[in-house]
Chains A and B, each alone.
Chain A
Amino acid sequence: MTITSFGDQSQKVVGFDQAAAHGRCMQYRRRILDISQQVSALHAAGAFSALEMVDCIYHCLMRRNSDGISPDTFLMSKGHSCMAQYVILEDMGVLSRNDLDLYCKPGGRLGCHPDYGVPGIEASTGSLGHGMGLAVGMAYTDKSRGDDRRIFLVTSDGELQEGSTWETMMMAANLGVDNLLGFLDHNGSQSFGHTRETHPKFYPIREKVEAFGWECVDVNGHDASAVYHAVMNRKGGRPFMLIGNTVKGRGVSFMENKPIWHYRSPNREEYIQAITELKEVIS
Chain B
Amino acid sequence: MRNKFADVIYEIGQKDDRIYAIVADISPAGSMVKFREEFPNRFVNCGVAEQAMIGIAAGMALRGMRPFCYTIATFSLYRPFEMIRVDLCYQNLPVTVIGMGAGVIYSTLGGTHHTMEDVAVASAIPNMTVLAPCDPEEMRQATSWCATESTGPVYMRLGKAGEPDLTAEASDPFQVGKIRYLKKGNDIAILSYGITVAMAFDIAKQLEARGKSVSIISCHTIKPLDQEGVRQILAGHGRVAVVEEHVPHGGLGSRVKEIAWDMGAHCRLDCFSLKDQFIHFYGDYNELLNEHGLSVPAICARLSE
Contact = CB atoms under 8 A, between A and B. Distances in A.
Contacts of A135: 59
B62 A123 contact: yes
B244 to A, nearest CB: 32
B51 A163 contact: yes
A136 B20 CA distance: 14
Contacts of B63: 137-138, 141-142
Interface size bracket, A side: 20 to 34
A130 B65 CA distance: 19
27 contacts: A116-B90, A123-B59, A130-B55, A130-B83, A130-B86, A130-B87, A133-B51, A133-B83, A134-B55, A134-B87, A136-B55, A137-B56, A137-B59, A137-B62, A137-B63, A141-B20, A141-B59, A141-B63, A144-B42, A163-B51, A164-B55, A167-B49, A168-B51, A168-B52, A171-B44, A171-B46, A171-B47
A220 interface: no
Interface string B27-58: 00000000000000110101101011011111
Helix, strand, loop or mixed for chain B's interface?
helix
Interface size bracket, B side: 20 to 34
Contact of B55 (A116, A137, A145, A170): A137
A6 to B, nearest CB: 22
Contact of B65 (A133, A136, A141, A171): A141
Of the listed residues B47, B54, B56, B59, the one surrounded by the most CB atoms of chain A closer than 10 A to its CB is: B59
B228 interface: no
Contacts of A142: 63
Nearest to B49: A167
B59 A140 contact: yes
Helix, strand, loop or mixed for chain A's interface?
helix
A115 to B, nearest CB: 9
B82 A127 contact: yes
A18 interface: no
